[in-house]
């Protein structure tokens, strides 16, 4: 710690409270502590904007929801390693760390010996700590690598469909890549379209620590005089932020492809599409055009056709086409629209629309899929970048099998079954042990009741956690882990910019019996053999690893004429280091090289071009992902809704990161009647006798939840929005209703398609009524009674 001292009567004494620099996904934070407790916290950068998440450090460290000591489910001690169907309902018994680790080691070795490494699922997926050392899932997989291999995961819940389709279309995943720089957007773009994106919420966070520059760029856009269009069934915080400076269009949920096709058809019919660009830079437009005009299937995808599906008037669709074609247009797309059935089609069609406009590779034109995430477009700095811990030990085993992360329930339900994925026929492993570290699958996986049933099948479930999440409550063995403020680490800010290097200094001692993941897996590695600990740690302590990562950064910095002090000096300084600006980064245009010379800078697609028609995908023969972007009507949407059914969207919340911080006092800013808020239009509220603040029940065949009604005109009639990430709180005494409002109790657990197998949460229908049943108190954040 960096302690402040003052001279009193000739003696230097520590001054309390003192300020320590650390970081989280929501940026660098300055934490005030007296050495025992966290007193307050806030942003450590002068960003000009308040990020509510930065105030929650005290709640993270001192929450009543903390796991205090190792716990073992009672049934595990009596069932002799056989599933007993009691996960989530059983009592927990306190044990010592040695007892817990010995039990894990014995069961792990038994299962591995009987069923092989593929039976061990260690593909635990979550947002982790933003530090370069204490990354829970990385450390888990490092240990499993040493043990002989494991089953890992493919893709993620955020962008499963998009990151599968984009390599076929443009040769890279696009969703996690740097965007055309903001200075060029502000200089050259005339039209900026935010399509299914809400950056005012999502730019509060980053995979690493946020560099906190994104909202400032959108602030400049707001006052730039440019035309801004927000396309979203919800008038999001971003649309409200832009106010009269933005136009809000609200299509039916799941109909974005139809709307884009109507725009594309209008471009083509009026000769506004860039035929020369399509001929030189794309592959297969002619095949797509036959579909667009109806030549191939008898249905012309014109503006009138599109209007009948998406609910946007045909005259507005034609106007969008005209405006896009006559101006430099940047299409900034979010990820929510691809978290749907046939989600692959959304981003593929948006790239096709941008190609028809012919502005890809021009300053301020084309498309971008990361302006709303991790501050894409904030120019990349000339940076000394930290190294980080790797998941595979020297000489260790890699993952012996991988499954699409959003198909974990299917894998548990159908061990050994074949399934199609991305052009392959794969087979689900027979998973007998699950270790989930640093993630909350019970909040990010769809159809919670189906998940709970499948979760009973493995022989052992271990959860490493800070808090009593629903996943922890459904575990056999629960290990209490430190928060990032109870250990030391390092991070960079900005997933794309690398704008700052930040010391993540320990603020307070670990609470109760919490331990670092690094130490836990080092102890378990020691049980694997006499050299296990040495192979896992490589003989280095926490601080020695951090110095190693820092020294790599110093070497990288020296190559770019960036001088960093020695590690000891840097660590004592308790200061953030800002990296120098880069002229190259400020002038970056995505696809500029490809546009300048498509042969020399060919894309990593089969043709080297943007593939509007993919021969490879067409060859897979997937009915749910044809060879070119197409409108495919979802199973659950406006067009199939029965009277009284509403379309459900699960948007990102404003005051947490998915499920992180749901337990914090920030809840007071958004809960209604102590529950997750559900947005509904006044027309839908009126027909159901609901007023703002009422407790309501939402249900479908998958489950039911209680929520607090927020009646607002900022949502399309026929649509309700219940933010994702709310902790489930199922009441066995009331028919399994979720007392808290966890949206995934209601959402569909189906694949986006057989290509990507991403999640399809936003393709769900529900019913809604005023709740008149018995009062049910929210217990989502209470530890189990036996804990």
State the catalytic residues.
125, 127
444 assigned to a ligand binding site = yes
- Number of Cβ atoms within 10 Å of the Cβ of 45: 23
Alpha-carbon gap, residue 112 to 404, rounded angstroms: 22
Relative to beta strand 191-195, strand 227-231 is parallel
Q: Cα 724 to the chain's mean position, in Å? A: 11
Q: What is the full DSSP assignment across 453-500? A: HHTTSSSEEEEEESB--HHHHT-SEEEEB--GGGS-EEEEE-TTT--E
Tokens 């110093």 locate to: 554
Q: What is the spatial distance between Cα 26 and Cα 19, in angstroms, rounded to a whole number?
A: 18
What is the residue-wise DSSP string for 502-554?
EEE---SPPPTT-B-HHHHHHHHHHHT-TTHHHHHHTT--HHHHHHHHHHHHH
Q: Using CA atoms, how far apart are residues 508 and 408, in angstroms rounded to an integer?
A: 37
Beta strands in 580-702 (DSSP E): 610-611, 646-649, 677-680, 695-700
C-beta of residue 159 within 8 angstroms of C-beta of residue 357 = no
Q: Kindly report the three-state secondary structure assignment for every residue of 760-773.
A: CCCCEEEEEEECCC
Nearest to 76 by CA among 475, 374, 371: 475
443 Ramachandran zone, left/alpha/beta (phi>0; psi -120 to 50):
alpha
**Is 548 within 8 Å of 472 (Cβ atoms)?**
no
Is 84 annotated as ligand-binding? no
Q: List the structure tokens of 743.
A: 């949206």
Query: Which pair of structure tokens corresponds to residue 561?
Result: 């004429």
Q: DSSP labels for 148-217?
A: T-EEEEES-TTTHHHHHHHHHHHSS--TTSPPSPHHHHHHH-SEEEEES--HHHHTT--SSB--S-HHHH
Q: What are phi and psi of 329, to 5 degrees?
A: -120, 130
Distance CA 402, CA 202 (A): 29
Please provide residue 151's backbone torsions phi and psi, each rounded to the nearest 5 degrees. Answer: -95, 130
- Tokens found for residue 316: 């507005």
SS3 readout for 147-166: HCCEEEEECCCCCHHHHHHH
CB 256 within 8 A of CB 337: yes
> How would you class 243 by CB atoms within 10 Å of its CB: exposed for 0-12, middle for 13-18, buried for 19 or more?
exposed
Cis peptide before 17 (omega within 30 of 0): yes
Please check whether residue 121 is in contact with residue 151, taking contact to mean a CB–CB distance below 8 angstroms.
yes
> Distance (Å, rounded) from C-alpha 763 to C-alpha 749?
10
Q: Any known ligand binding at 182?
A: no
Judging by DSSP bridges, how do beta strands 329-333 and 646-649 pair with one another?
unpaired
- Contact by Cβ (8 Å): 136, 385: no
Which of 347, 356, 368 has its CA nearest to residue 281?
356
> Exposed, middle or buried, 584 (CB in 10 Å: 0-12/13-18/19+)?
exposed
Residue matched to tokens 């590695």:
525
- E strand map for 196-341: 227-231, 246-249, 282-283, 329-333
Distance CA 337, CA 347 (A): 8
Is 517 annotated to bind ligand? yes
Q: What are phi and psi of 393, to 5 degrees?
A: -75, 160
Q: How far apart are CA 739 and CA 718, in angstroms?
A: 24
Binding residues, by number, are: 127, 339, 444, 487, 517, 744
């Amino acid at each position: 710690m960096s302690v402040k001292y003052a001279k009193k009567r000739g003696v230097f004494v520590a001054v309390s409270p003192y300020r320590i620099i650390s970081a989280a996904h929501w940026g660098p934070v300055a934490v005030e502590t007296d050495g025992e407790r966290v007193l307050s916290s806030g942003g450590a950068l002068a960003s000009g904007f308040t990020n509510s998440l930065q105030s929650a450090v005290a709640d993270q460290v001192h929450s009543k929801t903390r796991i205090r000591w190792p716990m073992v489910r009672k049934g595990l001690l009596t069932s002799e390693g056989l599933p007993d169907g009691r996960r989530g309902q059983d009592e927990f018994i306190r044990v010592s760390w040695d007892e817990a680790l010995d039990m894990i080691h014995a069961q792990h070795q038994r299962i591995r010996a009987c069923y092989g490494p593929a039976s061990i699922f260690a593909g635990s997926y979550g947002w982790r700590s933003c530090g370069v050392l204490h990354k829970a899932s990385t450390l888990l997989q490092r240990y499993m690598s040493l043990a002989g291999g494991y089953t890992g995961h493919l893709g993620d819940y955020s962008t499963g469909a998009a990151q599968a389709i984009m390599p076929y279309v443009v040769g890279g995943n696009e969703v996690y890549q740097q965007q055309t720089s903001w200075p060029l957007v502000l200089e050259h773009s005339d039209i900026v379209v935010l399509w299914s994106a809400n950056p005012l919420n999502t730019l509060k966070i980053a995979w690493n620590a946020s560099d906190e520059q994104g909202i400032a760029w959108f602030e400049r856009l707001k006052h730039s005089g440019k035309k801004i269009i927000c396309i979203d069934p919800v008038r999001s915080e971003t649309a409200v932020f832009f106010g009269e400076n933005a136009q809000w269009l609200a299509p039916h949920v799941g109909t974005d492809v139809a709307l884009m096709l109507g725009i594309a058809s209008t471009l083509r019919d009026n000769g506004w599409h860039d035929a020369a660009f399509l001929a030189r830079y794309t592959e297969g437009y002619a095949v797509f055009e036959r579909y667009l005009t109806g030549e191939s299937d008898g249905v012309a995808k014109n503006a009138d056709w599109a209007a009948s599906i998406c609910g946007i008037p045909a005259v507005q669709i034609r106007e969008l086409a005209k405006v896009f074609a006559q101006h430099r247009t940047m299409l900034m797309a979010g990820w929510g629209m691809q978290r749907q059935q046939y989600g692959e089609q959304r981003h593929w069609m948006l790239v096709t629309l941008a190609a028809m406009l012919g502005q890809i590779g021009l300053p301020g034109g084309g498309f971008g899929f990361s302006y709303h995430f991790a501050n894409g477009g904030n120019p990349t700095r000339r940076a000394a970048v930290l190294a980080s811990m790797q998941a595979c030990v020297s000489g260790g085993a890699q993952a012996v099998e991988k499954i699409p992360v959003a198909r974990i329930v299917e894998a548990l339900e159908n061990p050994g079954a074949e399934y199609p994925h991305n052009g392959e026929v794969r087979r689900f492993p027979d998973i007998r042990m699950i270790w989930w570290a640093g993630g909350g699958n019970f909040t990010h996986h769809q159809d919670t009741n189906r998940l709970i049933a499948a979760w009973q099948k493995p022989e052992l479930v271990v959860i490493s956690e800070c808090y009593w999440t629903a996943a922890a409550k459904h575990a056999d063995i629960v290990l209490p882990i430190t928060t990032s403020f109870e250990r030391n680490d390092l991070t960079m800010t900005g997933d794309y910019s690398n704008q700052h290097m930040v010391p993540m200094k320990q603020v307070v001692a670990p609470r109760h019996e919490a331990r670092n993941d690094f130490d836990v897996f080092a102890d378990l590695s020691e049980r694997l053999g006499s050299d296990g600990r040495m192979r896992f740690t490589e003989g280095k302590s926490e601080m020695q690893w951090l110095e190693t990562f820092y020294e790599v950064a110093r070497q990288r910095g020296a190559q770019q004429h960036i001088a960093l002090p020695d590690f000891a000096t840097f660590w004592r300084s308790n200061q953030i280091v800002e990296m120098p600006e880069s002229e190259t980064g400020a002038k970056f245009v995505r696809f500029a090289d490809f546009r300048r010379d498509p042969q020399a800078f060919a894309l990593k697609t089969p043709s080297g071009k943007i593939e509007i028609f993919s021969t490879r995908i067409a060859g897979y023969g997937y009915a749910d992902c044809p060879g070119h972007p197409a409108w495919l009507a979802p199973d659950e949407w406006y067009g199939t809704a029965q009277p009284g059914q509403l379309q459900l969207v699960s948007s990102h919340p404003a005051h947490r990161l998915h499920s992180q911080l749901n337990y914090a006092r920030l809840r007071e800013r958004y809960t209604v009647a102590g529950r997750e808020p559900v947005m509904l239009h006044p027309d839908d509220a009126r027909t159901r006798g609901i007023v703002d603040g009422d407790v309501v029940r939402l249900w479908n065949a998958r489950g039911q939840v209680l929520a607090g009604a927020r009646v607002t005109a900022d949502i399309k009639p026929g649509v309700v929005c219940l933010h994702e990430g709310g902790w489930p709180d199922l009441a066995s005494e009331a028919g399994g209703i979720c007392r808290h409002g966890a949206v995934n109790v209601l959402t569909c657990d189906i694949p986006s398609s057989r290509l990507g197998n991403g999640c399809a949460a936003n393709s769900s229908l529900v019913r809604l009524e005023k709740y008149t049943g018995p009062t049910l108190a929210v217990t989502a954040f209470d530890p189990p009674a036996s804990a």
